[in-house]
Structure 1
Amino acid sequence: MIAKEYVLQMARYNAWQNSQLRKVVKQMDEADLTADRGAPFGSIFGTMNHILWSDMNWMGHWCSDVPSPAVPKAASATLTPTYGVWDAERFRLDGRICIWAQTLSNVDLQGMQSCSSGENKQQISRSVGVCVTDMFNSQTYHRGQISQMLSGAGITLPVSDLMFLPEDA
């Protein structure tokens, strides 16, 4: 389904997008960052936390050195207490995702991934390629929610088009 080159590009894209997001939200005051905007995870910060939670959850399946999130999915919007803690965790995990992507082979992406969904009370098994695609797709989907909230707050959005991903990112 997917190849290592796709994973490498998506890992770089994820890190680039999060770097741009960090620069934008760093300028916001805490009240604006944590204001409930009617989004599924409440605020911009809550959605940022949910993305981090989801990435930790997936990477915990593939990398023994990535701990599972300390809170259940229902509390993912509260994963980190402050922007500073989120920023450090996001930077660290983005680097880990890039290193992981470099170590993959195309064969690794063909295997099966089994996991249980606490939310749906189901055990599922899918190809690793589908799971990896889901991780990157979910990141993009939720960053789109953040973009909508930032736009609604009158904040200029960073470039998000994959075609503008810098070669050195």
Structure 2
Amino acid sequence: MRDHLLQLARYNQWANNRILDTAGDLGDAARRRDAGGFFKSIHLTLNHILVAEQIWLARWTGDPPPHKDLDVVLHEDWGHLKAARRHQDEALIALVTSQTQAQLTEVLNYKNMAGMPLKLQKGLIALHLFNHATHHRGQCHHMIHQLGGEAPVLDMPFFILGL
């Protein structure tokens, strides 16, 4: 599972960079425009991905949740948001790299945002993080297209083949 998760972490970084680069070409007004996404805009959707990951990583490490809402805006400035995203991607790769197979099968007890106690294996949590990012990147991809940008290819075979 660890090798699979590491490949997903690297793919996640690659896909995030492609979205950031393409969204960066749109300009700030377009990135902030309500384009019909669940979190309205590209900017707010990318913020949400960071918020959710920070909450999950705090659960993983046993730290208190850093945010009380999933739609908190961490970074108003595009440059800061990009830097935070790139830092987060490195942190996710480092986290997966640091885990043994046994650690990834450990069960984490946590409370969801509604306070409900739950438990899940750490490896499945990591899988969820990458799946969650893919889901919201897809929304960003659609919004880029809706705003007149050229949405990047994000298919995993392009990552694997280095295209």
SS at match of 1:73: coil
| Structure 2, unpaired ranges of 5+ | none
Equivalent of residue 129 in structure 1, options 118, 123, 131: 123
Gaps of 5+ in 1: none
TM-score (norm 2): 0.90
Query: In structure 2, what is the equivalent of residue 7 of structure 1?
Result: 5
The match for 1:80 is: 75
The amino acid that maps onto 1:157 is A
Measured after TM superposition, the shift of residue 153 of structure 1 is 1.3
Q: 1:49 aligns with which of 31, 47, 50?
A: 47
Change (3 A) 1:17 1:67: farther
Q: 2 CA distance for matches of 1:30 and 1:92?
A: 21
Aligned pairs for 1:94-113 (under 5 A) are 94-113=89-108
Q: Secondary structure at the match of 1:115?
A: strand
Give, in angstroms, the shift of residue 6 of structure 1: 1.1
Aligned residues of 2:106 and 2:122 also touching (Cα < 8 A):
yes
- When normalised by structure 1's length, the TM-score is 0.87
Q: Which structure's relative contact order is higher, taking Cα pairs within 8 Å and 6+ residues apart?
A: 2
- The question of 1:28 aligning with 2:53 is answered no
CA-based RMSD: 2.2
The separation in 1 between residues aligned to 2:76 and 2:96, in whole angstroms, is 29
